[in-house]
């Protein structure tokens, strides 16, 4: 829409004001984000920009937002306008000191004592990546034997523009304004007042799109399970009380026992209904996960209600478990599946272990047990369950797939790739196997092959009934899956294009 007069601009502004309440409701519905009174002027500005950018009226803009996919430029423009992507290295010096002097050394010492040389850390709402890169630099300073460790640090965000910048790892002086000189000189290369983070830091940090309002985490599938540390700073301030409670519950089940959750100073803290306990250290509050309370299966056995995107990609493993064969003992597979879908890993294990798995020769029980153990971080035991399952059925594609995801967690990338390809040999239409193979290839910097695998998954999803549920992704329909796949493809294509341009310039 082209504005030719001040009168037309005035009319547009009035239309925007008329749509503001409805738009705020729509934002809350789609993203779980609450627009507060002081944010309304910025929202008004964002709508005005969108009407110019996409040549539409406020009413048409509302219609587009109601029906567009999550990778739509219109929705992405809105997300960028209503979320704060500004961050910098070593932000919140008190939190960084707590991490550097107390929490990270405690986690590392505990892992050494257990003989588990691995660290899993998640920055939920990572923006342009400075926070998770800061933590990685700290870890490099602390671990003289870091080559022996498996470091899995992930950053997720809803803003794909910010994620693209995080993946590239190139920053301006603004992001560097509080970083100690030692870190700047050791881990960055400066050129034209821009700072490129070293590949040694970047290679162990991965980034992906994730809307915390969706119900598809924690899961071994995207690395949001069994975290030693979660940083979720200045994220809860965007949500209403209901979504905060749900988000806190999911974050708490994403931690290993003893794992830590750190929120921003302005974030509300809701511990009710979680397994978190609050701690205080020199003005900083943080939470620690305790042993999850077990719930008697009979209390939830009758609850058949499914959430809109129940466990989506992250819980795909659960729904991928094939039906069991009839035996003299009836296995309550629906209850076990529900316990897994609700992230009740301990309850699921108790139920599974009440059966004689070897006597039943049940692939379902073994795959379910592998899923529960993997999400608790007991990866070696989970892999053993998969091997036992293959003894009973050496052609079960779901077992190969679960085993592949577990090996990805163990950083056994070649073995994982072989199993994913075997899964696809057994069923070339296995959407999730294409998806995971694509992510693995991208992780190994095989960008062309990785994007091709993601495109294969997208093509399969698009050829399905858009409202049909994806059997491997419990509660996720093919339209939603296609949106997620398209988002991942766009993210990697864009970031690679910018990297190639930078390389060409150099």
pLDDT of residue 498: 63
pTM of the entire structure? Answer: 0.77
> What angle do helix axes 431-443 and 397-409 make, rounded to 10 degrees?
20
pLDDT of residue 292: 64
Q: Which helix (H) or strand (E) holds 169?
A: none
Q: Walk along the chain (506 residues) in steps of 10 and give the mean pLDDT of each run.
A: 56 75 85 80 85 86 85 83 78 89 95 92 94 96 92 91 91 92 94 93 90 80 90 86 89 93 85 87 79 50 42 51 58 89 89 92 94 90 95 93 92 93 94 92 91 95 87 70 85 74 49
pLDDT of residue 307: 47
H-type alpha helices, 120-198: 130-142, 160-168, 181-187
Around Cβ 81, how many Cβ atoms within 10 Å? 14
Exposure string over 355-383, b if 16+ CB within 10 A, otherwise e: bebeebbbbbbbbbbbbbbbbbbbbeebb
pLDDT of residue 427: 94
Is the N-terminal amide bond of 218 cis, ω within 30° of 0? yes
* 222, HSE (Cβ side, Cα atoms, 13 Å): 25
pLDDT of residue 62: 87
pLDDT of residue 322: 58
Q: Give the contacts of 195 (CB within 8 A, at least 6 positions apart).
A: 170, 171, 172, 173, 175, 176, 184, 188, 189
pLDDT of residue 305: 43
Q: Give the contacts of 203 (CB within 8 A, at least 6 positions apart).
A: none
Please state the separation of Cα 449 from the chain's center in Å: 23
- Radius of gyration of the CA atoms of the chain, in A: 23
Residue 445 to residue 440: CA distance in whole angstroms = 9
């Amino acid at each position: 829409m082209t504005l030719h007069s001040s009168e037309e601009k005035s009319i547009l502004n009035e239309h925007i004001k008329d749509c503001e309440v409805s738009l705020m409701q729509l934002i809350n519905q789609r993203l779980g984000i609450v627009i507060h009174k002081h944010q309304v002027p910025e929202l008004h500005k964002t709508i005005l920009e969108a009407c110019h950018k996409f040549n539409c009226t406020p009413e048409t803009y509302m219609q587009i937002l109601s029906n567009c996919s999550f990778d739509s430029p219109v929705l992405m423009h809105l997300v960028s306008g209503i979320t704060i992507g500004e961050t910098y290295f070593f932000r919140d010096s008190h939190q960084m000191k707590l991490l550097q002097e107390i929490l990270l050394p405690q986690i590392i010492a505990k892992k050494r004592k257990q003989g588990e040389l691995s660290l899993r850390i998640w920055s939920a709402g990572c923006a342009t990546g400075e926070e998770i890169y800061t933590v990685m630099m700290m870890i490099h300073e602390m671990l003289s034997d870091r080559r022996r460790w498996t470091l899995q640090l992930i950053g997720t965000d809803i803003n794909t523009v910010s994620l693209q910048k995080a993946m590239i790892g190139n920053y301006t002086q603004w992001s560097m304004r509080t970083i100690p000189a030692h870190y700047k000189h050791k881990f960055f290369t400066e050129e034209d007042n821009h700072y490129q983070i070293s590949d040694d830091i970047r290679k162990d940090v991965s980034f992906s799109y994730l809307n915390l309002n969706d119900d598809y985490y924690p899961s071994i599938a995207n690395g949001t399970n069994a975290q030693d540390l979660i940083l979720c700073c200045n994220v809860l301030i965007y949500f209403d009380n209901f979504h905060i409670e749900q988000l806190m519950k999911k974050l708490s089940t994403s931690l290993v026992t003893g794992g830590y959750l750190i929120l921003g100073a302005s974030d509300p803290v809701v511990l009710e209904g979680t397994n978190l306990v609050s701690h205080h250290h020199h003005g900083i509050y943080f939470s620690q996960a305790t042993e999850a309370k077990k719930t008697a299966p009979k209390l939830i056995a009758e609850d058949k209600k499914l959430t809109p995107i129940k466990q989506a990609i992250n819980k795909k493993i659960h729904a991928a478990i094939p039906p069991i064969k009839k035996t003299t003992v009836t296995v309550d597979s629906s209850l076990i599946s529900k316990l897994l879908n609700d992230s009740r890993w301990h309850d699921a294990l108790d139920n599974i272990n009440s059966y004689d798995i070897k006597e039943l020769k049940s692939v379902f029980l073994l795959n379910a047990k592998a899923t529960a153990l993997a999400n608790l971080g007991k990866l070696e035991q989970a892999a053993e369950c998969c091997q036992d399952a293959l003894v009973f059925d050496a052609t079960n594609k779901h077992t190969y797939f679960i085993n592949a995801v577990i090996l990805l967690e163990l950083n056994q990338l070649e073995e994982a790739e072989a199993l994913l390809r075997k899964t696809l040999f057994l069923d070339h239409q296995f959407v999730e196997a294409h998806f995971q193979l694509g992510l693995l290839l991208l992780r190994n910097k095989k960008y062309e092959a990785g994007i091709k695998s993601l495109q294969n998954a997208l093509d399969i999803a698009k050829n399905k009934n858009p409202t049909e549920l994806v059997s491997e992704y419990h509660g996720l329909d093919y339209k939603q899956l296609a949106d997620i796949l398209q988002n991942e493809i766009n993210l990697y294509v864009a970031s690679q294009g910018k990297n190639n341009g930078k390389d060409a310039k150099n």
